[in-house]
Chains A and B, each alone.
Chain A
Amino acid sequence: MTGLVLAVALGLGAYGVAVLEHWASTGRFRVAGPAISALALLGRESILPRKPDRLFFETAPVLLLVAAVLSLAVLPLAPGLIAADLATGALAFNAALAYVLVALIMAGWGPDGAYGMIGGWRFLGQLIAYAMLVVMPITAVAMRAESLSTVQIVASQEGLWNIAYQPLGFALFALAGMAMAFAPPFDLPTAAGDLAGGVEAEYTGVRRLVFRLGRMVLILSVASAMTVFYLGGWLGPWLPGWAWSAAKILAVASAMLLGGRMVPRLREAALLEWSWKLGIPLALANIFIVGLIVLVVPT
């Protein structure tokens, strides 16, 4: 029963993110849009490039989707409404999303096309920029919750949400999460405009559909993580828990997608420089500040 509810929630969530992304990029709010595009992609030819690395080419979209779904599986929607309540949930979230890099490099390498290849390698540089800024704020969250279980992390925010408790960590995690989901302005691997779609360029038809679906679930997963780690997950008055979670996740996803569109795309060199010269010192300072607060303020 729980499984069915979660599957429906996943489907609706991914669909909602697709509607939001279309809204953010074109300014038109079309509820039926993603369904029509999905049907269109299903009916189109899925062309195999001339000399592909077949294994990588076929694996990449599936791996992206699987990694995104697995990372979402350890995040709770409401008390008891979670696919796998691991004791090391926050770590499992990171571990699953590490495969996004693998999927994108496979997608870049597989079709033997120059643009895809550049997109894939770019994302490797992007990983070096964002990875520490994802894990370090999560450490600070775990310090407060005394646990890596995502359910306990939400429970620890009963009194005060983490966005107020550690705003610095939230800002870093939000930006790094956007880079992880390669949402604009961090869409270096796809880079419409300068790479003609990058890692997505050679995917057509149903393979592209799976790739796009994986991307939507990935954005949903990052938005859910922000909700669970910083915005108090299901906590909130009057409404039931799942409604609060859903409202927060959709609000975070639309803020992410709309806000990102307002900023020009960063170059890889600039991204690396900002994240190592400013981001990492701030992330370490965040751990230190949270450490002091945790020791001084009981519970």
Chain B
Amino acid sequence: MSELTQYAILFALAVGIVGLVLSLYALARAIGRNKPEPGKDVPATAGQLSRDPVWVRYHARYYGYALLFLAFDMEMAFMYPWAVVYRQEGLVALLDMGVFLAILFLGLLYGWSQGALRRQ
């Protein structure tokens, strides 16, 4: 099968799952409808609407990790093609990526020493 067919299969699968879910919803609707009653639609906060609004900004206390995560995630974009040709390229590939990873790892150690690996 060609690559295009594979992706067509994946797309059809996604559409099929959505169709399955919609038919489940239709089945549930056919069994019975919701009865509108007061207090039923309050979110699970001890039976009362929460005092403060929920859709507000939250402190991302892991931001030190998050910044390092971005650097490491970019690195993975290079790692995948590198991994595939690794055996062909041999020792050169190991040394090339070794230098790259060593620099990145030093960055991690530096971040650690500066207290980035801590919930702020």
Q: How far is the CA of A86 from the CA of B108 in the complex (A)?
A: 34
A15 in contact (CB, < 8 A): no
Q: Which residues of A contact B3 (CB under 8 A)?
A: 86-87
Interface size class of B (residues with CB under 8 A): 35 or more
Q: Is the interface of B mostly helix, strand, loop or mixed?
A: helix
Q: Which residues of B contact A87 (CB under 8 A)?
A: 3
Binds B, one of A232-240, A257-265, A287-295: A287-295
Separation in Å of the A229 CB from the closest CB of chain B? 13
**What mask results when residues 45 to 75 of chain A are scored 1 for a CB within 8 Å of chain B, else 0?**
1111110000000000110011001100100
Q: Is the CB of B10 within 8 A of A111?
A: no
Q: Is the CB of A277 within 8 A of B117?
A: yes
**What mask results when residues 26 to 66 of chain B are scored 1 for a CB within 8 Å of chain A, else 0?**
01100110110000111111000110001100101110011
A251 in contact (CB, < 8 A): no
Q: Which residues of B contact A46 (CB under 8 A)?
A: 28, 34
Q: Which residues of B contact A128 (CB under 8 A)?
A: 62, 65-66, 69
Separation in Å of the B40 CB from the closest CB of chain A? 6
B18 in contact (CB, < 8 A): yes
Separation in Å of the A280 CB from the closest CB of chain B? 7
Q: Which residues of B contact A143 (CB under 8 A)?
A: 83, 86-87
Q: Is the CB of A45 within 8 A of B79?
A: no
Q: Which residues of B contact A269 (CB under 8 A)?
A: 61, 119
Q: Is the CB of B24 within 8 A of A139?
A: no
Q: Is the CB of B44 within 8 A of A196?
A: yes
Separation in Å of the B34 CB from the closest CB of chain A? 5
Instruction: State which residues 123-146 of A face B: CB under 8 Å.
Output: 124-125, 128-129, 131-132, 135-136, 139-140, 142-143, 146
Chain B residues within 8 Å of A, Cβ to Cβ: 1, 3, 6-7, 9-10, 13-14, 17-18, 21, 24-25, 27-28, 31-32, 34-35, 40-45, 49-50, 54-55, 58, 60-62, 65-66, 68-69, 72-73, 76, 79-80, 83-88, 90-91, 94, 97-98, 101, 105, 108, 112, 117-119
Having A50-B49, A84-B6, A272-B119, one finds 16 other A-B pairs with CB under 8 Å, namely A49-B41, A66-B14, A113-B43, A114-B54, A115-B45, A117-B55, A125-B61, A128-B62, A272-B117, A280-B72, A284-B101, A287-B101, A291-B86, A294-B87, A295-B90, A295-B91
27 A-B pairs (CB sep. < 8 Å): A42-B31, A45-B35, A46-B28, A48-B34, A49-B41, A49-B42, A70-B13, A92-B10, A113-B43, A113-B54, A117-B54, A117-B55, A125-B62, A128-B62, A128-B66, A139-B79, A139-B83, A206-B27, A269-B119, A273-B117, A273-B118, A273-B119, A277-B112, A284-B105, A291-B94, A291-B97, A292-B94
